[in-house]
Homo-oligomer: A and B are copies of this chain.
Amino acid sequence: MTDSSRPTRTHKAPEQRRREVLEAAAVVFAEVGYRCAEMDRIAERAGAGKGTVYRCFASKETLFMATVEKALEDLTCYVNEAVDPLEDPLEQLRLGIHRYLEFFECNPETVELFIQERAEFPKNGKPLYFVYQETSGGKWRARFEKLIEQGRMRPDMSPALAQEVFSDLLYGAVFSQLLAGDRESRAERADEISELLFRGILKPES
């Protein structure tokens, strides 16, 4: 028996173990997808045994959902911490778009997790992404309404529809960018995208 054959065991604080496993899981799930992600591999990457992983998370599914939830918290936080302090709703929209696109460009593996969630658990009801979206939906809706009150937005335009179009576009953009693979950065063109949504593609009526 050489030293190398004796793995070093260490007792760690439960929260730290949990964090390490979660981190390893996020990487492996994003890399090879839910099905092909072997618990052995996650354990190995986390520097732990399989038994340890199962003491932190009851099942593969539980572990996976925890990684998705973590990613959503990070996203929400990244957008809100920049947007909430602003006053002007139009600027909030513009920056919100920018931040959202930027987040996914910095964390492309997050998109992978969202795809995996829906693909593997269609029976779980609404994917967590949409649960979170619903939570913050009201706040965004209010911003559109404020624009109308201020007389800056066309009153014939429904705030609800506008909000949906904005969020659909962002969702689609993020997926397209990752999946189509060969497109240029959307985040860098966030302002042009905002401009399109604010003013449209056509010349103002003559």
Residues of B within 8 A of A157 (CB): 196, 201
Interface residues of A, count at CB 8 A: 57
Q: Which of A147, A157, A161, A172 has the most CB of B within 10 A?
A: A172
| Interface locus among A49-57, A77-85, A113-121 | A113-121
> Which residues of B sit under 8 angstroms from A126, Cβ to Cβ?
179-182
In the complex, which residues 146-189 of chain A have their Cβ closer than 8 Å to any Cβ of chain B?
147, 151-154, 157-158, 161-162, 164-165, 167-173, 175-176, 179-183, 189
Decide if the interface of chain A is mainly helix, strand, loop or mixed.
helix
Copies in the complex: 2
Q: Does A122 contact B154, Cβ atoms closer than 8 Å? A: no
Q: Which residue of B lies closest to A204 (CB)?
A: B204
| Given A197-B201, A202-B152, residue A35 in contact with residue B169 (CB < 8 A) | no
Tell me whether A200 and B200 are in contact (CB under 8 A): yes
Q: Does A102 contact B (CB under 8 A)?
A: no
Least distance between A109 CB and chain B CB atoms (Å)? 11
Is A164 a contact partner of B176 (Cβ separation < 8 A)?
yes
Q: Is the CB of A47 closer than 8 A to any CB of chain B?
A: no
In whole angstroms, how far apart are the Cα atoms of A196 and B152 in the complex?
Answer: 15
The 8 A CB mask of A122-141 against B (1 = contact, 0 = none) is 10011101100110000000
Q: B130 touching A176 by the CB < 8 A rule?
A: yes
* Interface of A toward B, CB cutoff 8 Å: 32-35, 112, 115-116, 118-120, 122, 125-127, 129-130, 133-134, 144, 147, 151-154, 157-158, 161-162, 164-165, 167-173, 175-176, 179-183, 189, 192-193, 196-205
Residue contacts A-B, CB under 8 angstroms, 19 given: A33-B119, A125-B181, A130-B176, A130-B180, A152-B202, A152-B203, A153-B201, A153-B203, A154-B201, A154-B203, A164-B173, A164-B176, A167-B172, A168-B172, A171-B176, A172-B172, A198-B202, A199-B200, A200-B200
